[in-house]
Homo-oligomer: A and B are copies of this chain.
Amino acid sequence: MTKAVVVFSGGQDSTTCLAWALRKFGRVQAITFDYGQRHAAELDAARTIAGKLGVRHRVVDLRGFGQCSESALTRADVEVAAGGGLGGLPSTFTPCRNLVFLTMAAAYAISEGAFDLVTGVCETDYSGYPDCRRRTIDHLQETIALGNDLPGFWIHTPLMFRDKRETVELARDLGILPLLADTHTCYFGRRPACGTCPACILRLRGFAAACVPDPIEYEVSAG
């Protein structure tokens, strides 16, 4: 029976990916990285949703990643070397973050005998993040296949070319809209969500465009 591992943050996108994987694969497991998220609520949401879907779920301590990346780029007082290509990237970009998550998730998947990995990365909404592009994912997939002698290893990106509206429509078609009530999006970690931060606005726009009510509560309605 084909077995897949889903990189699962407990957010709207990866919850949709988890439901997508449950339709496509015989057996599905989820992995969540604790990298010192701003809000512990995100990890709680991941545990709650995995439990409701009856999916085996592992939380992996990756707080050490902060020791790698909390460096020059994230400190205004340190000069970044000239000539690097990082100047044009959004200030929220952390070098190699998705690559580290996906490679760690691949280690887990392969150790569990699963050769299909699923991630919610998306070119449409995050075109400024070069590690979210399908071309990068293709190269990573080939690297992992070569590095483990596993030519059949695959990284699935069901949301890659969907915009937020289409992602909400996919969630609706998969019948998991009620489950999205447990997901966290608000940048400030508020519950009810603030409704005014960029993350809340992006989420609300997607639901509005899909003509689907967002099941979470907001302090301020964007509508």
Contact = CB atoms under 8 A, between A and B. Distances in A.
A107 B95 CA distance: 5
Nearest to A146: B136
Contacts of A68: 31, 58, 60, 104-105, 107-108, 111
A85 interface: yes
A223 interface: no
Contact of A71 (B71, B112, B146): B112
B143 A113 contact: no
Interface string A154-178: 0000000000000000000000000
Contact of A110 (B31, B96, B133, B152): B96
A86 B152 contact: no
Given A58-B67, A61-B64, A96-B103, A81 B3 contact: yes
Interface size class of A (residues with CB under 8 A): 35 or more
A131 B148 contact: yes
A150 B96 CA distance: 11
Interface string A111-152: 111110000000000000011010110011011101111111
Contacts of A71: 108, 111-112
A113 B80 contact: yes
A147 B67 CA distance: 20
B136 A143 contact: yes
Contact of A100 (B74, B94, B97, B100): B100
A108 B89 CA distance: 17
20 contacts: A3-B81, A31-B68, A34-B64, A64-B64, A68-B105, A71-B108, A71-B111, A81-B113, A81-B114, A85-B151, A86-B149, A95-B107, A96-B110, A96-B147, A96-B148, A103-B103, A130-B146, A130-B149, A136-B143, A139-B143
